């Protein structure tokens, strides 16, 4: 089956977690909004008329199915492409981890938009600095420390053990994103999560991922996405 992924054409954003899964699986897909007329097509899909409209991109069309919410899309794809275990307990566990990553992603966004996403960053720089300080002091250690312990408890390769899941692909993206947005903070922090960094390297070396990252399909990080590099937010780090 050829999928249609609907997501904003100029950013990695939440769509990237889906792209990484599709790419690692070697799945056929169109990144619809990056084609001619694609953004209009995406907006039309969000009309409520049919009774099951997505609230926001990303969403994935798989035949007649239209699935929204990043973690939900991955739950669906994981089962079909060997990116998640098949047994119910393990499947729910992997989904649970992905939902925790979704919470982290929201908190990353709040570092630059603590007063809300419809206001300009320039109008919330001071609160953004405070939120970012709290993020690095309290939240990054809690989230990444959590995944570090899970990797350790399961043998050290991937979060569930020897086989990759979509959660590992998402953790790769988290590490890449934090490195991009907060290079100083992250450089100082990485020694606390050595297994997570090894996991990141393991993912980066997977053939399909390697090909994808080197291709034009991988949109570069930029300041419209979730992970944004604002010097003043990375400057508070005491090194």
Site for its own copies, rule CB under 8 A: 48-55, 64-65, 67-69, 71-72, 75-76, 89, 92-93, 95-96, 99-100, 102-103, 106, 110, 114-116, 118-119, 124, 127, 130-131, 134-135, 137-139, 143, 146, 149-150, 152-154
Distance in Å, CB of 58 to its own copies, minimum: 12
Distance in Å, CB of 33 to its own copies, minimum: 19
Distance in Å, CB of 128 to its own copies, minimum: 9
Smaller CB separation from its own copies, 106 or 235: 106
Smaller CB separation from its own copies, 142 or 210: 142
Distance in Å, CB of 54 to its own copies, minimum: 7
Smaller CB separation from its own copies, 116 or 207: 116
Listing DSSP states for 170-199 in one string gives HHHHHHHHHHHH-HHHHHHHGGG-HHHHHH
Distance in Å, CB of 80 to its own copies, minimum: 11
Smaller CB separation from its own copies, 46 or 213: 46
Query: How far apart, in Å, are the Cα atoms of 28 and each of 2, 22, 109, 128, 199?
Result: 5, 8, 30, 39, 26
Report the alpha-carbon distance of residue 80 to residue 28 in Å, rounded: 13
Report the alpha-carbon distance of residue 221 to residue 227 in Å, rounded: 7
Smaller CB separation from its own copies, 67 or 174: 67
Distance in Å, CB of 114 to its own copies, minimum: 4
SS3 21: helix
Query: How far apart, in Å, are the Cα atoms of 116 and each of 110, 112, 123, 161, 213?
Result: 8, 9, 11, 38, 31
Smaller CB separation from its own copies, 36 or 48: 48
The secondary structure of the chain in percent helix, strand, coil, rounded to multiples of 5, reads 60, 5, 35
The DSSP letter of residue 33 is G
Provide the token pair at 94.
């992997």
CB 189 within 8 A of CB 135: no
């Amino acid at each position: 089956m050829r999928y249609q992924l609907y997501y904003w054409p100029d950013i990695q954003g939440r769509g990237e977690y889906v792209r990484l899964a599709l790419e690692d699986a070697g799945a056929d897909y169109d990144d619809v909004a990056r084609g001619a007329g694609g953004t209009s097509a995406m907006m039309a899909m969000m009309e409520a008329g049919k009774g099951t409209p997505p609230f926001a991109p990303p969403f994935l069309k798989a035949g007649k199915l239209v699935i929204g919410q990043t973690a939900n899309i991955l739950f669906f794809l994981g089962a079909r492409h060997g990116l998640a275990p098949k047994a119910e307990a393990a499947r729910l566990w992997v989904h649970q981890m992905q939902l925790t990553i979704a919470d982290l992603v929201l908190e990353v966004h709040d570092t630059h938009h603590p007063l809300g996403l419809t206001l300009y960053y320039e109008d919330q720089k001071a609160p953004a600095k405070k939120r970012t300080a709290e993020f690095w002091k309290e939240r990054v250690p809690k989230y990444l420390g959590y995944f570090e312990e899970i990797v350790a408890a399961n043998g050290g390769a991937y979060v569930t053990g020897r086989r990759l899941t979509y959660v590992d692909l998402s953790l790769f993206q988290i590490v890449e994103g934090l490195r991009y947005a907060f290079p100083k903070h992250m450089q100082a922090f990485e020694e606390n999560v050595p297994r997570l960094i090894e996991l990141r390297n393991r993912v980066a070396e997977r053939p399909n991922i390697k090909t994808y990252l080197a291709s034009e399909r991988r949109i570069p990080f930029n300041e419209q996405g979730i992970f944004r590099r604002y010097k003043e937010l990375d400057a508070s780090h005491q090194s």
